[in-house]
Structure 1
Amino acid sequence: MRVDLDPQTVKEIADKENLSSRLDLSYYLRNQDYKMQQLLLWLSEEVEQGNPQGKLYIDSVTNLIIYQILKQHNDSQSNFLGKDPGLEHLKIAMEYMQDHYAESITLDKLTRLSNLSSSHFINSFKQTLGVTPHQYLLKIRIERAKEKLQRSSLPPSEIAYELGFTDQSHFSRYFKKITGMSPLKWKQNFVQK
């Protein structure tokens, strides 16, 4: 099941609940969550039945899904950051990557921000998030690419440049690796839904 969440709605709910809206959903989705399964089941059933209960029902279930994701993510972030004071430094690097994803970010810059050696930083990052810093940055860029593909008519070459990719083929290769389809195919699928 694929559920596309409006980033503005996510941010509004996060702000209202005093939760961080900075998410790496790949980290969240590794955990089994029965509440989330139930919410997704309700949403799926409603959509399959042609939305008999109306927009308010869909909006309410969607907002509950967003809240559950934010709450779970913030709880898990607090848990792993609370176990080792050194892991707080990873959060600084993650936030930097989220704020500066279109720039050329170096390992040296991230290790200086985190105040860790490069090997400790990479090992801690991979152990904590399950991906390398480079993979994490690529995921951020691809998520931003999806947003741009949804909301703009810019060609993929311009989107690639805006997101910090060296060229369109580099962008397309990573986009396909992460999403399973090319940027144009992804946009076609999104626009059709």
Structure 2
Amino acid sequence: MLPNLLCQIPVEQHPQLIFKRTFQLNGSGIFYASSNPDHFPEHSVPHIKISIPLGKTSFQAIWQTGAGQRKKQHVREGDICVLPANLPHEVVLESKQEMIGINFDPVFIEQIADELTGKKVEIIAQWAAQDPLIQQLGFDLRREFQQSPRGLYVESVIQVLANHLIRHYCTSQIEMVDAVSKLSHQKLQKTIDYIHARLEQDITLSELADVAQMSQYRFARAFKQSIGIPPHQYLLSQRIERAKKLLTLTQLQIADISYQLGFASQSHFAATFRRFTKVTPKAYRNVVASF
């Protein structure tokens, strides 16, 4: 099992950053922040870092190579940055920007790498990489943080990002040794029962992995292999199924149903319901009532 590293990975400590949201997870810390044009003096952090600029951006990263050569890289809209732990660097922001930052404890990455490859890995610096997956996940996280971040969803994104780092940002070619297998019937049923008993709660991936007595990484992959969707999508789908029953069989206000099922707000509930059913909760209730 991965160690509980909750709250051991701090978000960035820079007075220039205006934090909109921070989120602490096992082995990682995430922040959604903005900043005006400014200079971040040379610094280093003890964790592996992904920086995802959002929207129009322009800044310069300055660092020194192992051979003592001073280098610069211009980072523009659409670029992402991947930094290994303890890399001294400075940043000059040339425009106002928003960003998502994800900090990984090296131990967290090492343990997932061990499950994936059976070997130690070394992350390499990429100052202006074009990576559509990381870019899209950055925008997804911003949308999540603009509402109320769900632990299970954010943890799932962290697992995807950690896997992606190991596969694509290491110093040597990685040969995967892990094989994805389904959960046993008993473990799958225990997990599903646990979810159904707590639909209104902000269930975490670590909770579900503990129920199945597996690491978070292996559990997330095995769960998806078993039912075809990741845990956070299954939780949402079951909340919507429960909402359908409440809309059909009770006269509860839509706001009350939203609250009962653990949604951050009525608007968040309505948007999620519509994404799954193509209609709003009110329209669904009206259609059902007409039969």
TM range (shorter): 0.5 to 0.7
TM-score by length of 2: 0.36
Q: In the TM superposition, what whole-angstrom CA distance separates every residue of 1:67-119 from its partner, at most 9, and x where no partner exists? A: xxxxxxxxxxxxxxxx9674532221111001111122111111111111111
1:172 aligns with 2:265: no
Structure with the larger helix share: 1
Q: 1: CA distance between counterparts of 2:183 and 2:243?
A: 33
Structure 2: gaps (5+ residues): 1-180
1:155 aligns with 2:235: no
TM-score by length of 1: 0.54
Rg comparison, structure with higher value = 2
1:137 aligns with 2:235: yes
Structure 2 partner of 1:111: 209
**Structure 1 residues 85, 144: CA separation in 2 closer, same or farther (over 3 Å shift)?**
closer
8 Å Cα contact 2:246-2:257 kept in structure 1: yes
**1:128, CA displacement in angstroms?**
1.0
- % identical equivalent positions: 34
Runs of 4+ in 1 over 3 A off after TM superposition: 83-87
Q: 1: CA distance between counterparts of 2:275 and 2:183?
A: 34
Structure 1: gaps (5+ residues): 1-82
Matching residue within 189, 201, 209 for 1:91: 189
Q: 2: CA distance between counterparts of 1:134 and 1:111?
A: 13
8 Å Cα contact 1:107-1:118 kept in structure 2: yes
2:193 counterpart SS class: helix
Matching residue within 104, 117, 121 for 2:219: 121
**1:156, CA displacement in angstroms?**
1.1
Structure 2 partner of 1:182: 280
RMSD value over aligned CA atoms? 1.7
**Structure 1 residues 84, 159: CA separation in 2 closer, same or farther (over 3 Å shift)?**
closer
Structure 1 partner of 2:30: none
Aligned residues: 111
Q: Output the amino acid matched with 2:282.
A: L
Q: 2: CA distance between counterparts of 1:134 and 1:84?
A: 17
Q: In the TM superposition, what whole-angstrom CA distance separates every residue of 1:97-145 from its partner, at most 9, and x where no partner exists? A: 0111112211111111111111111111111101111111111111110
**Structure 1 residues 153, 84: CA separation in 2 closer, same or farther (over 3 Å shift)?**
closer
